[in-house]
Amino acid sequence: MIDYQAVLKKHKPTEAQNSELKAIAQSIIDKTEEVVKRLSVKAKVLLVGSVAKGTNLASGDLDIFVVFSKDYRTREMEELGLKIGHEVIPDGSEKYAEHPYVSGYVGERKIDIVPCFELTPKSRIISSVDRTPLHTEFVLKKLGDAGKDEVRLLKLFMKTTGVYGSEIKVSGFSGYVCELLIIKFGSMLKVVEEFSRARGPLRLALNGEDTDLEKYDSPVVIIDPTDITRNAAAAISEENYSRMKINCRMFLKTPHAGYFTDDRSYSPELFRERGTAVRIFLLERPEIIDDILFSQAARFRGILVQILKEQGFEPINSEVELSEKIEVLVECKTDRIAGTRVHMGPPVDAQNAMDFISKWMGNSLLGPYVCGNRLCTDIAVENRDLESVVREDLKKFSIGKNIDHLKEGLEIVDPISNKQKYLVTGKFYRKELRE
């Protein structure tokens, strides 16, 4: 039997932590309201997110929303939002989601001051951020105290299995989706049972909302009760849905506390026994928001894999992660390709057969020669080393608007000889299912 109270004790904020959190939240709210008043802005200040809903883990952020009257134009709202944010958190930095906002720290606690428009359940959508206050309201109304801890357990389960987070980098389950699942099924265990039984896509409406569930083609569809035209689970990738399903089945077969705390640790030394060529490609990280950066980093990974595949290094695994750097790991079957490539030429009967011979005669390791009804020739491969092939071929590609200029600074690391730790190495190993 798993001692869920022990699990919660480890990850749930203590009374003292919660009091401190509330005090910080209240002081930020007071400060924000003061600025709003001073600038004569028509806006309400709201604590939203997991702290507001009481479903936060010990490590949770504080999300303060400045909810503007719809009298403002978007541009005006955004400018005022930033102005307010900077006044409240003087050393905060600007970030860009659907609206720009200011993010900073009070002690170790991350705080976001996010402007949005006031929205009623029936009103026209301006942006999905504007809906956040409605989510907070809905969850506060529907989720009891017991439910809040179940949400925490579900989040922990999803964190350890790598599917928690709706940002593009993760493409998994958001906190709001966790809350909706607990509201729908009642407990973490019931949710896990539900996923363990699921085959194919999952389609849920909380209260039998009058909507056509079949019109969505996302792997998971959960109708947002605050806007029945929206799939609250649209961010979830097929891989993460698959991962959730199989982890739920495995947990029910052999339940243990390891599903709520990821205490596995890996040494890059483990790469040695794989008998492959692993390289970590590092780029400097530009100052743009994760969602945009991650898309470009993913494209960079795709290009690296494509180059290595085309040149015969046979990539078999790859991962991408963001830390202070962009980290891409690619594992290949070899880091040195053969010195000879067989180049297939035209059929001997083709018009250009003699041209092919003139071109390669004296420029081949062997050939041209006849193979079947065609000409072939064995060409010397000059660039046989993984790292120099990548550096050379990468010149031909644009890897993304915001990172292309960073290619020159590309660092290539062999994790077997370089003992530094990289986030992407952990990601590589953590995809492994739990025993």
What residues line the site for a copy of itself (CB under 8 A)? Answer: 199-200, 238-239, 242-243, 245-246, 249-250, 253, 273-277, 312, 314, 316-317, 331-334, 337-342, 347-349, 353-354, 357, 361-362, 365-375, 378, 380-381, 384, 429, 431-433, 435
Q: How far is the CB of 370 from a copy of itself (least distance, A)?
A: 4
Nearer to a copy of itself, 88 or 277 (CB): 277
Q: How far is the CB of 360 from a copy of itself (least distance, A)?
A: 10
Nearer to a copy of itself, 104 or 367 (CB): 367
Nearer to a copy of itself, 237 or 295 (CB): 237
Nearer to a copy of itself, 132 or 318 (CB): 318
Residue 152: other Cβ atoms inside 10 A: 27
Q: How far is the CB of 435 from a copy of itself (least distance, A)?
A: 6
Q: How far is the CB of 124 from a copy of itself (least distance, A)?
A: 37
In which residue are the tokens 């993460």 written?
A: 240
Q: Rounded to whole angstroms, what are the CA distances from 318 to 168, 180, 305, 360, 394? A: 17, 33, 8, 37, 17
Nearer to a copy of itself, 4 or 429 (CB): 429
Q: How far is the CB of 338 from a copy of itself (least distance, A)?
A: 4
Beta sheet of 62-68, edge-to-edge order? 43-48, 62-68, 109-117, 100-106, 93-96
Nearer to a copy of itself, 58 or 344 (CB): 344
CA atoms within 13 A on the CB side of 96: 6
Q: How far is the CB of 198 from a copy of itself (least distance, A)?
A: 8
**96: Cβ contacts below 8 Å, ≥ 6 apart:** 288, 289, 292
Q: Are 415 and 425 in contact (CB under 8 A)?
A: yes
Q: How far is the CB of 239 from a copy of itself (least distance, A)?
A: 6
Nearer to a copy of itself, 110 or 374 (CB): 374
DSSP string computed for 212-267:
-GGG--SSEEEEETTEEEEETTTT--HHHHHHHHHHHHHHHHS--GGGTS------
Q: Rounded to whole angstroms, what are the CA distances from 136 to 150, 154, 176, 185? A: 17, 18, 9, 19
Q: How far is the CB of 175 from a copy of itself (least distance, A)?
A: 22
Nearer to a copy of itself, 206 or 250 (CB): 250
CA distance 17 to 103: 21
Residue 383: other Cβ atoms inside 10 A: 13
With 0-12 CB in 10 A as exposed, 13-18 as middle and 19+ as buried, what is 70?
A: middle
SS3 assignment, position 428: helix
